Structure 1
Amino acid sequence: MQKSVIHEMIAEGIGTFILVLFGVGAVAVSVWTGGLSLWPVALMFALGVTFGVYVSGKISGGHINPAVTLTLAIFTGFSWTKVAPYIIAQFIGAMLAAAAIYGFYSGILAQFEIGAEITRGLPGSQLSAMGFGTYAPNPAFIGTDEAAFAQVSLSKWFMSEAFVTAILVFGVLFLTDQHNTSAPSANLAPFFIGLLVAALVAYEAPISMTAMNPARDLGPRIMSYFFGWGEMAIPGPRGGWWIPSVASIAGGLVAGAFYRGFYRGVFETYDTEQPEWEVEK
């Protein structure tokens, strides 16, 4: 493996670590302490994405999301030899951030579970596990019983995650397309991507906590399995542990296909100097 790829992996890992520490950490603070409401959590995700992309962007392109990496490889010519290293690094960064959250908040978390009469690993404990992985419906907003589950079916969970991820990936492609003269300059794109993430989190969080990123969900979810949630983490109370990851990848690919099929032709019509379309990396 080339040294440059290792540098890119480190950048992707650090960027994803920042995203998960800020965003997922904000969810943990919100649930375990009551210290944050939905909009501050959404803004923390925005800051996590913005800083994560700024930190990693110059070195690796700032994907910090396997759904973005796969979409870029399929539709923009991003090197397939880097896909697996990038995704591995993203998951490592997410898992390390989850470990940091647990390490610093374990005492507060334990006290929260006592107060809420939660037994970790048993039904209902997704209310504390949501400080790591995502669940549908949102346990803090809707509940953890069968009546709550009936409000968001597994198919609706999948479609909702795919929908918001498609919007996010479309935004990433739009904001970083060199042929899009209306896009912000390169140093401002991460800021606007972060704002888009905040809007999507604020909109979708009550349904399924808005993963939009396999590493953001599955990385912390794996850690929570070993932190004591066991089957409440994987396979989860409804067996839907795979939905956030698969749905976000599917949504990203749909967005990539739509963007390449429509916007590519539109922008190239007005860009005769650079006929080869590519996303700025």
Structure 2
Amino acid sequence: MASSNEDEEIINVEEGETKTSKGSGFCGSSSVVQIIQKVIAEIIGTYLIIFAGCCSVVLNNLDGRVTFPGICLVWGLIVMIMVYTVGHISGGHFNPAVTVAFAIFRHFPWKQVPLYIIAQVVGSILASGSLYMLFEVNDKSYFGTLPSGSNVQSLMMEIITSFLLMFVVSAVATDNRAIGELAGIAVGMTITVDVFIAGPISGASMNPARSIGPAIVMHKYQSIWVYIAGPFIGTILGGLAYSLIRFTDKPLRELTKSHSLFKSSSTHSN
């Protein structure tokens, strides 16, 4: 037993979190370290996704060798790769709309939402800046997202494709009946399909960070609201739709009580 005058570190473990009473600073808590690791994983994951996906867009715009199907595959494959690489660390969101939807449906703590969104936007800005320095990017080779038709048409495509994305993510990431090992493949293939059908119309963002990064670097804010509102609306609706068909052993009278899903989600404390 240590003497009373020794300055030693005393570690108390409570509810899975390590707390130090002496000799440790703010970063001494394991929970803080884990959050920092998650934020770093989201920055790196988002950076690599935006860099690879947008790089394929730039190269195709410059000489056409990548082709549109190639762009679709690059987006799907890089998302799949990053889900398997850092998904076990941060959850593999890489998307502010997905993060908010997870929080609304109580699959993610609200207190971490701002950190994740900042990390995702920073990752996108860094990736966009890297591409801007590597290539002579102009209006022709711009790698951001712009509507090819009306804003309403692009908004609807962003809502629908984001709905599909979140519907699939909710199934493979939050339902223990799904085969979790196939989550990366399912999400990656969903991205590929979404880019195929929405790419020629809206650019298939499905991710506010994906559109905000290039817009900031290139100072192109045309119709940026479409790529912020659309993904948030779509992912929330997608998460809600899957929640309605999720397995439950509760009787119907309990599911139809007056309190709403959003009300119960807002009062849940993480």
Q: TM-score, normalised by structure 2?
A: 0.77
Find the counterpart in structure 1 of residue 44 from structure 2. Answer: 14
| Superposition map of 1:110-259 within 5 A | 125=139, 127-129=140-142, 131=143, 133-137=144-148, 152-179=149-176, 181=177, 183-184=178-179, 186-225=180-219, 233-234=220-221, 236=222, 240-259=223-242
| Superposition map of 1:29-178 within 5 A | 29-106=59-136, 109=137, 125=139, 127-129=140-142, 131=143, 133-137=144-148, 152-178=149-175
Does the CA contact (< 8 Å) of 2:107 and 2:174 recur in 1? Answer: no
Q: Deviations over 1:93-142 (max 9, x none)?
A: 11111111122223xx4xxxxxxxxxx5xxxx3x332x1x10111xxxxx
Q: Deviations over 1:64-88 (max 9, x none)?
A: 1111100000013310010000010
Find the counterpart in structure 2 of residue 268 from structure 1. Answer: 248
Does the CA contact (< 8 Å) of 1:45 and 1:197 recur in 2? Answer: yes
Counterpart CA distance in 2 for 1:3 and 1:62 is: 18
Structure 1 gap segments, 5+ residues each: 110-119, 138-151, 226-232, 271-281
Deviation of 1:12 (Å): 0.6
Between the two structures, name the one with larger relative contact order (CA 8 Å, sep ≥ 6).
1
Structure 2 gap segments, 5+ residues each: 1-25, 27-31, 251-270
Q: Percent identity?
A: 33
Q: Deviations over 1:185-244 (max 9, x none)?
A: x2321122101100110111111110000011111211111xxxxxxx02x2xxx12111
Does the CA contact (< 8 Å) of 1:19 and 1:48 recur in 2? Answer: yes
Larger of the two Rg values belongs to structure: 2
Query: Where does structure 1 differ by over 3 angstroms across 4 or more consecutive aligned residues?
Result: none
Counterpart CA distance in 1 for 2:229 and 2:82 is: 23
Q: Deviations over 1:127-181 (max 9, x none)?
A: 332x1x10111xxxxxxxxxxxxxx2221111111111111111111122333x2
